[in-house]
Structure formats: C-alpha cells, structure tokens
Structure 1
C-alpha cells in the first residue's frame, strides 16, 4: 500500500513541528469560494478582532494579527474555487491553504498549530509533472500544488509532422530519427517502407519516442508523479512508448483540447485530491482489517500517543471535531489536562503529526466515522 506522505506535505508538517512560541490557526468554511470572497474575508476579520481582544496584546501577538490582516486585505489571494481555507501563522511562518472541503472552523492562538483542519489538503500537497500530449504542440508543465508552469526548457517536438524538411514522408520510406551534429530538429531518413500508411501514421512512432526521450532526460521525471492529459488514443499511444521513472502516472482523457496553464493546474489539483482520497480509503481499510487483532489495534488516546511518539503507529484515524488535552507526567506518560493548564497539548493533533512524520499514515474524520466509535483508532507496527 503506497500511502507515504509526499515531500511537500512532509515539509509543511516538519516546519509546523519546529515552531516555538505563539502559533495562530484559523480555519474557515468558504461556501462559494472566490465568488463570495468578500463575505469570507469579512467573517475572518471579525474573528480576528475577537481574538485580538482576548489576547495579551504583546508585540509578538500583534505581529501575528498584522500578518493575518495582510492576508485578509490581499483580495487576489481569495480568488478561485475552494470550499474552505486554513491559515497558519507564527514568527517567520505564514501558510494559506485553500481547501476543497469545508473544514471544522477554528480560531486558536496556542503554542503549536492545529493541523487537523488542513490534514487532507496537506496530504494532497506535492509537485507533479503534467504533460498535455497532442499530435500538434505538446506541452510539459510542472505543477507546484497551486499553479502550473510551462517547462519551456524541455525541447519537445512541435508536431507529429515536424520530422521531414518538406512536411511529408515519401511512400516507400520507413521513418526513423537521425540527429545531425549541431542540428536540434530531427529529420527522417529512408529505411524501406510500405506505401499503405499516411504521413501522420508514419511519423507518430518517432514523434512519441522523441517526446518520451525529452521527458526522460528531465531530472524531475525520476522523482515526481505525472499526469498525462489528452485524447484517449493519443494518450495510449504515448504510454506505449514511455516508462515513467518517477513512479505514478495518472491519465485524464476527457479534458478540453490544448488546455492553458490554469486549466492544467485545475486538472492536477483534482488528480492530487482524488489520489489522496484513495489513499485515505486504504488507511481506513487497513484499520478495519486489524481491529480484531490483539496487541495490534488500539483506540486508547494515551496508548496511541505514546506509540506515535515512538514511531510505532502504522496507520491512524483521529477525530476532526473533538479535542483531548493532555500533559506529560513525571513518569513521561500522558495525563489528562485542561486546555489552559501549563504545558498542556492537544493529543489528537499530536498523534496525527507524529504518525505522519514517522512514516505512518494518518487521516482525519468526524468521530462518528472512526472505527470503534472513539476519538482515535490506530494500528501498531509492533
């Protein structure tokens, strides 16, 4: 089961764990996304003002609220399609995540970030390659989780018809590519060919090999998953030629012809989200399968927390709509605590964070959806 957190999501969580001092978390439902951005920004401004009145008013806290105000006032950041946002701000860190789902709403100022409202979005974060494969003007993009950038430095052939100087292949010729020294554009040379194929059919295998070769030379092709976008037949023809060393390849065969960078980004976001939801289902299935095994399954918060700290949690699901506060006792065991006690921490968020950073898999759900009917369920490695 491939449920490992992508590098970008892991970076997000590692940065969150390293924060010391006041950490501001705000999550907000945003019905209508960017179309109603003024409504969302007004709601957030009111929440900020209420929090500011309850805070101690220190210079450090005022800087956090000043940064939040800047986010609220930057109208262009609130454009696009989304159903919620999650904002994390601390000294030197500002994160603004648009969510494709409505989160549990929070407005917290604490010693650490609350990560569960953004858990699904964090798990979907990652860089991707995106190839719009067509017989004319193929384009390769890099998607960074938000935007798609055309990789102009990758030399893809312009067209399936670009492999002969006169734009046609003589009958009786078999196409193959020969690169003359100092010449970038491949030219066709004769090799014996039957006359029952047209120009496109003759050139297409060479065209696909050239596209595959250009992508294969890119360092990112060894590291990143790829989305291949195009007509069903052309996508299949390309994949018959190409082996992606970066692992996962996803295909989108019903997109509009020649999508622009914004459309490619939208496609990549949906593919990343659908893939994350599939991984989430796999985690839940693993937990359900292990529920009846003694010593492997647990829904005890303290026990799961200790195991997560030790890197022993293989898979966990935690509640998004509950809070369980603990503190570490003299015996270094977690004990129940009130939220306002000194050194208190929210245990469910810590379970999620520790599990993900120690190469386990953790997902967040409403409590009534968690196997066993409690606030946490986990499967141990040993």
Structure 2
C-alpha cells in the first residue's frame, strides 16, 4: 500500500468515527426518535443527489430489544425452571417408553426440547383461559411439540399416566393421546388441528382476522383475545405457512402473534447451512409489514454487546452462517474460542477471562426466559 493510500484510509477512518460520535451524541441528547428523524433526512438527501442506497429489510443479527429496555421478569425463575425441567423429562420419558414398546412410533423429542422456554413463558405469564365474559386466547401449537404439551397437562392433572402410556395410540380402549393436535379425536384437549401443510399459521391468520371482523360489526365484545401460532423454521418452507402473511399486515391484526422457533431442524430436507434462517425470515415478514422481534442471544451475551462500541461483535455474529453455529454447539468451548472469537484479536481479548466451559455454556436467546418474556 502506498503512503498516499494509507493516508486516505486514515482520513476515511477518522471521518467515519466522527459520524459515529455525532450519532452517539444525538441519541444521548435527543433520544432514539430524534436519531430516526436525522437518519431519514440523510437518506432523503442521498436519494435527491442520485445516490442509490442498497435496500435491506434486515436489522443487525442481535436482539431487537436492548437489555436496558427489558421489563422486570415476574415470578420465581427457580420454580419455573424446575417445572420446565420436569415437563421436558416427562415428555422425553413418554416418547422413549412408547418407542421401546413399539418400534417406529416416533415422537419428535427435539422439537419440544428446543421450544420449552418459548411455551413455558407463554403458559406461565401470557396465555389466558376462557371465562364467562372472555373467550380466552387461541393457541395454535406446533404439532411436533405435542409431547411437551401432554407432559405439562399431566403435571397439571388434566390427563392421566395411563393416557401417557398410550402416546400415539389415540384409539386405544382405555384412551390414548393423538400424535398431533387433533380436535376430532381429542375434542376436550385440542382447539385446532395443526402440523402438516402449514395449517397452523394460515389458520391463525384467518382466526385473528375474523375475530376482528366480528368485533367491528358488534357481534363480539372487544376483549383483546390474542391468537398465538407456534411454528418451526422448517415449517415455514410449507407454502401455506407464509402464503397469507401480507393479509395480516394489511388488516393490521395486532391480535396475532407468530412465534418461530429457529432451531435449524427440518424433517423434509437439509438445513440451509450456508445461510441465516433468522435473517431470511425477518426479510420476509418485515417486507410484508410485520413487526419482527428477534431473540437470538441470552443475557450472558449482554456484557459483551455492551462492550462492543465499534460493532465488531455484531459484525462477527452476522458473518457466521447457520452451519457454523451448529458446528460450534458440537465442538466445545476451545473450538468456539478459536473459530468464533478468535477471528478478531479485540474479540478474543473480550473473553480471555472466561474458561472454555463457560464459553460453551453462553446461553442463546430462545432458552432465556427473560429475553422471551421481553419479546412477548
């Protein structure tokens, strides 16, 4: 590199730092809304000068809700953790027992294992039952997570141990449990049939729409019942899962909530390891007009993001593709230190006080009740 080019690079770096410091000052003195106004004005000026900015419906690969904006988590974290652990154990035991007695019965243990926190925060703090003057919230459960829903119902005393023993034998004379949510076979348990062909998501959209329709015509009281649809990232490959999402935005269905568990698992095809499914889905939903809240990193990561003044950690988080993230989970802390943190010396120094075991146990957002609660 020539001396002249080196000098130009230094000037550009100083210029960039001045712009960033100016933005920091605006945020501190005028707040986020003032910063938005200025950034929008800058974008307009750039367009008027013929500068075409690259369009992206994506936000950085970090949590949408800043740690400082999280509400206080209610209830007992320890009690809830204990309950969740019992439910996960019972779900696993039920499925393993069923397969031990009959080969090939199946059961999808991993789906609920990866989504347990998403469901438990909902059950403990958000889902509301019907009453005399309230219809209750409507929950479209991800079908493959049914073992966990059965295990919770058993803990609540709503189904018996004998029924658990007949998992996936719903026609058994003594009573059994259907493989997936099935209101016809279990009318007193399931509200909606979900699973195949993206039925849950598209049903949820139309359920929310016609609830608003009835309210607007005075045929139903406005009680703010919520519709929740739980689905996996693999399920979004079904055309019906995303086929009506523009309707939800057009009708302004603020009574509708999609919870997408991006656990990088698929039954009908390989995980797209060279992409980022969270970013892919964010583009789809934000482009259709949805409010998207990403929960990626648990509170263990807050300290590092707070130190990330130059955005290097956020850059590294965005660089890594899903296949590499899956690899990190199986290779251990030393591998994570070398291949994730080790790309940039500044990041490596950030975690030098942590052991390999501590690095391996840094919690992700979907397993952190505080992050999930803030998003809900």
Higher relative contact order (CA 8 A, sep 6+): 2
Q: Same fold (TM over 0.5)?
A: no
Q: TM-score, normalised to structure 2's length? A: 0.23
TM-score (norm 1): 0.23
The structure richer in helix per residue is 2
Higher-Rg structure is: 1
